[in-house]
Structure 1
């Protein structure tokens, strides 16, 4: 997967193409330009690093019969004025190719935990040609998520592992929504909950942390023995502080312990020395457990250090858990 970076993205809701171009100039224009000068006068002379523009939001549905025609007007005008900006279409290209030009297509999904977990293979058969997916909204948000529990986080983790293994066709991913002010509840669940004086991360927040530690990694072709329909896993290699590492991420979505053996194509197991392993596990006594202001760290990754023998890639996955194991390689 590509190295993580902050990406500035805006969605266009303007009534006219002229307003849209003015809005982009406000964000990106030189401080001496018409709208860039307005931004500068507001105290931000430096242009924003705007790289992506999404045209609309969930508009490519049957009832929006004019979306594609209007989209092309915006696409052509923006590309003419700002050829480097990447345009994101609202139309889903995961099942069949788009019939219009785009740099990315938007994909939103909100499902119960078990159903989202089962969507880990959603992009396995997506065409490798054409624009990549921007999964800009995903979450477990039906009744089994409550206000943000372990069950929801595990369903999301399985889905994310599928996206990681299809990173050649999935370019960007973001959880939605990110923040919840308990004094103004509008959506449940969210990743980070706060009020006037306190905050905590939901289990979904901690799942995000598991995926940020290995940015710039290389996905390894792997097979899983002892796998089941309730286990999803991936293997990556990456460098940190001058050392090479292999990392296995695995979700056990069942209420039984699973022993998982990982085989990686093209990797000589004898080339992995006996070394310390760093393991983090996200789990709890009940899948319905949640963090709260009174117990903000009820569910958070538990870290342990051990020794893994040479060439050994066998892992024990606790019931209803998300585990990450990292070990050094020669």
Structure 2
């Protein structure tokens, strides 16, 4: 049995059994639980330098209060109920005396409409973000304000916290029409709770009250917060996709105009974001706050250049996404947006003698930014309407700029009717590249390593612009790492890939998970960040073909109780029956009495009304009630359901093990636009089957679910709606081998996403390798999460001296390991 490679699972019983079968310790050393076989002579896919990048969107206060280094919140008094119902023009400000925000002919300019009228002897103080304004002892901070004041007016500017002053008080003599005034503070103490106050001796108008740390990223004016920018730079991203995301193509699409009044709820317009900061607009951010546009297109291009990344802007296609699902029929508006896109390319690439190239040069960058790719649209759920408009954008761009790659997209999901239609249209149109987005459970990522193996090698390339496994624990990052080995194996198809979202202020979270977390004084990389950084800094130039043994699949029937739920909807359920495959009644409830058979595990308000079980809270999400035995298998579930009011339809659950593990048929989901079967695994969801469709209010539906083993068939009003077999294994052991042509190293990348070590025989296929390898390992408990004060997921570097043509390496439990092996 010498040299035999055992294909065993990694349970303790299996290991003991294997040991018992071996005749001697020598043979035990030769045995391995996995094998990796490398073929260095075979041709693998080339990996572009730009394969891995970052996607930036102003979500979770990623810009103001985040990457944009401005320390004053609502610096130009533009906050409005259009941004957030709780906002006023004085949000984050405290006034002492007479202070009124005005919007009249006395404003600073047309874009910056609101300003503060401050009475004699009055003052205002700003609270910044999080707990306050962060200053560090000995560091300099640049203050500025635009003011209009009577002759002899003195503005007194202070920086303090509850314990006292944080810097020497500054007094500024102000007089006359609008003018910018500046001062510099040097902090005498460190504080996270600072307040910036401005007081006046006489009536004065103030606008654009600003405080910037002198120590920005690369010392740039109107610059970026240094620690956040440096964490992004440390990823070595090949591209920077910006500015979104849902905020790109949501809103009215209109611009400001006197004819239409003061338009605030509109899509992201790049021209609003360039030029002097005091002349830039603010906007109602899709994610429920105000965005100042102090961090605008010029700063994005400059940042991409600074970190060595390809800029990849995304412009609206005049079809809204992210649940809005509208398409404009205004041809003049479409023409203007197409021209704006051509102007954007000129702004990035045009000579300084061109109209928009001159504006770039005027801002401080006479040389072009070398734009090569541009995205049109984001997650549109109306694929035919989107494609009609995309073609017009592409034709105009290719006519003037034939070398620009115009990127399309496939909607918001990894599968389903919208996805399939979008891909069909993209193929028919001969699109160069399609932007895919999906957020799924860790199990989905472990199950779908082979996703791109079957993609058409002659069709459009893939830009995986947004993906994440619905959590920041180490188990999430492990699953993503396993999936990334499949991305690299298919580097001929997947040309670009970026985790999303990038940034999150811990006190202003609209979406989680996120790669980098921060507050006003610290930042830290998530477990997902460490995985992305490891892959992005060790990508290699080509794939070296390799194979590996797998983990024996463990399968069994779908088991679990049943459940009813709603999402932002009121619905009534009746005549619930569960019958075993042999006809035994397991559950029967017509709600003629109480609901004692049901357990309420979610939110919402459930009561028995008129012989039905009714959930009445139209704001509550996931209102799950469950009944039955978690051991149930092979059964038929019948439910009669009626939507009473709200945004969506019904959620009929089966295979319910607990609150985080179940299947449900989501009828009328996604704002009542489609239906799908979703599987929840440890709280994360992935879609197994999806179709377009909606649910009518007031109509009774007969819903039946037939579960046999892992095969499920679904019926709506007696007609088969769809079926699926949930039997795809979640493979915890994945690997890829690449070559770094500059160093001559093979990079063996192995993910072991299970609780036991993976003893592995590695066969380099005759490659002449040096005996020592540089090793980087990420390993932690699966539930470990990096925080500000504790980072259990941290790379450990070591040296392995046992490299040979054939050698054995034990990959730790729950680990990602990279071995860089120098070839001789």
User: Could you say whether these structures have the same fold, taking a TM-score greater than 0.5 normalized by the shorter chain as the test?
Assistant: yes
Counterpart position of 1:57: 378
Shift of 1:226: 6.1
Shift of 1:103: 1.7
Counterpart position of 1:231: 733
Matches of 1:245 and 1:227, distance apart in 2: 28
Shift of 1:86: 0.4
CA deviation map 1:209-264 (0-9, x unaligned): 22123344221111214655321101122245xx5222211111222222223345
Shift of 1:191: 1.2
Matches of 2:445 and 2:404, distance apart in 1: 31
| 1:311 partnered with 2:805 | yes
Going from structure 1 to structure 2, the CA distance change for 1:161 and 1:309 (only over 3 Å counts) comes to closer
Which has a greater percent of strand? 2
Counterpart position of 1:164: 488
Equivalences for residues 66-215 of structure 1 within 5 A: 66-91=385-410, 98-141=427-470, 145=471, 148-215=472-539
Counterpart position of 1:276: 772
| 2:482–2:732 contact (8 Å) kept in structure 1 | no
Three-state SS of the structure 1 residue aligned to 2:372 is strand
Going from structure 1 to structure 2, the CA distance change for 1:319 and 1:73 (only over 3 Å counts) comes to same
Shift of 1:33: 1.4
Larger radius of gyration: 2
Going from structure 1 to structure 2, the CA distance change for 1:175 and 1:104 (only over 3 Å counts) comes to same
CA deviation map 1:305-325 (0-9, x unaligned): 121142134321222111111
| 2:775–2:799 contact (8 Å) kept in structure 1 | yes
| 1:226–1:258 contact (8 Å) kept in structure 2 | no
| 1:123–1:169 contact (8 Å) kept in structure 2 | yes
| 2:540–2:739 contact (8 Å) kept in structure 1 | no
* TM-score, normalization by structure 2: 0.37
Which has a greater percent of helix? 1
Going from structure 1 to structure 2, the CA distance change for 1:76 and 1:95 (only over 3 Å counts) comes to closer
Which piece of structure 1 moves more, 210-219 or 107-116?
Answer: 210-219
Aligned residues: 315
Counterpart position of 2:48: 2
Shift of 1:87: 0.8
Which piece of structure 1 moves more, 310-319 or 200-209?
Answer: 310-319
CA deviation map 1:68-92 (0-9, x unaligned): 1111111111000110100111136
| 1:9–1:53 contact (8 Å) kept in structure 2 | yes
Listed as ranges, the gaps of 5+ residues in structure 2 are 1-46, 51-237, 239-308, 318-332, 411-418, 553-730
* Equivalent of 2:368 in 25, 28, 47: 47
| 2:550–2:733 contact (8 Å) kept in structure 1 | no
Three-state SS of the structure 2 residue aligned to 1:127 is coil
| 2:464–2:494 contact (8 Å) kept in structure 1 | yes
* TM-score, normalization by structure 1: 0.88
Matches of 2:402 and 2:804, distance apart in 1: 51
| 2:773–2:803 contact (8 Å) kept in structure 1 | no
Three-state SS of the structure 2 residue aligned to 1:298 is coil
| 1:225–1:260 contact (8 Å) kept in structure 2 | no
Listed as ranges, the gaps of 5+ residues in structure 1 are none
